[in-house]
Structure 1
Amino acid sequence: MFIGRVVGVVWATRKHPSLEGAKLLLVKSLDPQTGKTKGIPLMAVDKLVDAGIGDTVLVIDEGNSARQLLDDPNAPVRTLVIGVLDCVTIEGNHYQYH
């Protein structure tokens, strides 16, 4: 699991049936204390929270957990957006996201 920022959208004219109605987002890992993104973007499925570009999100990056949340054991999914974050508190320090 990691905190990330949505940096783009992937468009597909054809998708696996289990992804019908889902958004395909590009998400970069985020340092929660500095708010800076790092690394390369990963494609993440969003079928639960309706995140958009610029949102700070909580991401599961483990296939079995993602498939369980989608309630589809055959879904071709590893990375899933499970929440939009407003803030994080680390060791008493509060970090607000827009």
Structure 2
Amino acid sequence: MKTGRVIGNIWATRKEEQLAGLKLLVIQPINLLNDQPVDYPIVAADIIGAGVGEKVIYVGGSSARSAAGSRDVPVDATVVGIVDDQEIDETLIHGKR
């Protein structure tokens, strides 16, 4: 699982049949420790009703397809949770002292 911030929506009138009914979001992957962007934004299926500005947990690969309803759904990422809060003891992070 990874964390990201919802930065937008995508609408596609014409799309693969198996994507019908799925809301599509633009997610900016973020560093869990400092909320700073990492990598480029991605498109993810939303199965929980996340909105723009929310910090989310998303999965990729076969986990994304399963979460979206079937291993045959053509998605690379699916939002599976909205982050309410987090607590991290940075002294326990490998390589930090």
User: Taking structure 1 as the reference length, what is the TM-score of the superposition?
Assistant: 0.81
3-state SS in 2 of match to 1:67: helix
Corresponding position of 1:66: 64
Task: Work out the number of aligned pairs and report it.
Answer: 91
Question: What is the percentage of aligned positions where both structures have the same residue?
Answer: 34
Root-mean-square deviation (Å): 1.8
CA contact 2:4–2:57 (8 Å) conserved in 1: yes
Corresponding position of 2:85: 87
The CA distance in 2 between the partners of 1:87 and 1:35, in whole Å, is: 12
User: Taking structure 2 as the reference length, what is the TM-score of the superposition?
Assistant: 0.82
Matched, 1:55 2:54: yes
CA contact 1:32–1:88 (8 Å) conserved in 2: no
The CA distance in 2 between the partners of 1:34 and 1:56, in whole Å, is: 12
Q: Larger C-alpha radius of gyration, 1 or 2?
A: 2
Corresponding position of 1:13: 13
The CA distance in 2 between the partners of 1:71 and 1:11, in whole Å, is: 20
The CA distance in 1 between the partners of 2:87 and 2:14, in whole Å, is: 40
